Structure 1
């Protein structure tokens, strides 16, 4: 994520065509000069997203290494795509450094969170310079929200795991990692969800989908299309959005670079379709935004 010039604007709305379809993009009112990214819709118009953790004094909180801390927020999605009544995710204070890029089971019972390896109260002998990421799963309890977070058993402390996304049928958890079987700095993997917080063996999605560069932020739509971001060769610039169809045999098609207005010369990531299949969100730090990373709402006209 890069910092670019702050351009003041309340709402930026543009229209652009993509493969004979016209989309309208809106830089939502939630965005400011800070970084907001990674919207995920749980259910009943409740959404989660990531941004810098802000203190009661209105300043960005930092860890002991003077690095800005990311945390999760949640809010309500309006009919025009804005996100209102936002609050910090109340379980985020149990993590020492960051909590971000969440994924949810279809029924909303389980929440998967990207966080740093070290947590408050952990006995691991790591100092504050440790930045490996892992995925933890929490369970929704009525009246208490998402609690009982535990790391997934396959997360090795020597490597990073993040950007969790559950397949619509609930059978697989997709994620990003740099474990040794990765073909590049980070690859997209999936793991079978067996139930009772048990999982199969992580499997690399293969060289057709993963490149020698970074693959990040996987998301599988209900029509069996995998969306992700990559800085692979022949892109437009920075991280670009790609999609790959999954056939009836389970094989992945060749990734296709998504055209404008979804891609730009900057970083474009965190794509998600809403239930209607014609609207959704993605994140970009493209020219004309309000801050470091902005959330864009798109609709098919």
Structure 2
């Protein structure tokens, strides 16, 4: 166990000026020695995030290959960015293995989840040892929560699709994939949401954003600014968070590497602004954290 775990009860805060704004980061109290990442705000102060699945004995569950299992949790966000009353997300379509990296429709009616295995009762056409990621959509049913999950129709079982994020206008679903149109190991793509679980043609969002390296965890704001993570050359270290503006024609400009404290020499990812535009969350495994990946709450001052 790393020495810095001894500071579990301390608040880790950094304030640094970046791009005419001052970001203040706080390592929130829900973090522990395990991995938690990828906060997404739904509505009414409800947030979802990914975490290792823990059984009733407090032990991390593992699959048949002895790999730790990720699952989704949900909780309530306080005024100071803490997440309280966290519970494991449970659906009638309970997944056997991993589920993580959720996205939601603007009205909260639909939930998109990243999974890499079948649900109970599913019959696969291919070897169950396959571990490609896919995205599934569930529907909110009053009094029952999100259920009726189905794989998105364009997900080809030969490739991986992950990290769904719906645009604020509800028109597009952004995601990460390694399909043949990708220029690197993984690129960011989008599809138009047509309704009734139908989608348009998959679009690679372009060479301005996607590099020969990995691009992951897309998130787009109401102001048409896309945030994503990449391990491309000339970064600070590991996965770094970038921002890029989209013009009125839907084309993206040149990505800008965000400065410290948003980025560090470790992996930094899952950037999301809250509706006030002055606060949000990111995830990182930077030095000084409590676990493998930690969730950080940030505030912005001009």
Q: How does 1:135-214 map to 2 (within 5 A)?
A: 135-214=135-214
User: What residue in structure 2 maps to residue 276 of structure 1?
Assistant: 276
User: Contact 2:104 / 2:110 at 8 angstroms: preserved in 1?
Assistant: yes
Please show how residues 250-261 of structure 1 align to structure 2 within 5 Å: 250-261=250-261
Structure 2 gaps, min length 5: none
2:247 pairs with 1:247:
yes
Q: Cα RMSD over matched residues?
A: 1.4
Structure 1 unmatched runs, 5+:
none
Alignment check: 8 A CA contact 2:228 2:242 kept: yes
The answer on whether the counterparts of 2:173 and 2:190 sit within 8 Å (CA) in structure 1 is yes
Aligned length, in residue pairs? 299
Please name the residue that 1:220 is paired with. 220
State the alpha-carbon separation in 2 of the partners of residues 68 and 151 from structure 1: 23
Return the match for 1:8 from 6, 9, 13.
Answer: 6
**4-13 vs 175-184, which deviates more?**
4-13
Contact 1:191 1:202 in 2 (8 A): yes
1:4 and 1:120 mapped to 2: Cα distance?
38
The alpha-carbon deviation at position 126 of structure 1 amounts to 4.3
Q: Distance in 1 between matches of 2:117 and 2:180?
A: 18
Comparing 185-194 with 111-120, greater Cα deviation is found at: 111-120
So what's the TM-score if we normalise by structure 2?
A: 0.96
In structure 2, the residue matched to 1:25 is: 25
CA-to-aligned-CA distance 1:233-292 (integer Å, 9 cap, x gap):
000000000010001121101011011110000000000000010100000000000000
Q: 1: distance between equivalents of 2:2 and 2:109?
A: 38
Task: Indicate conservation of the 8 Å contact 1:177/1:189, yes or no.
Answer: yes
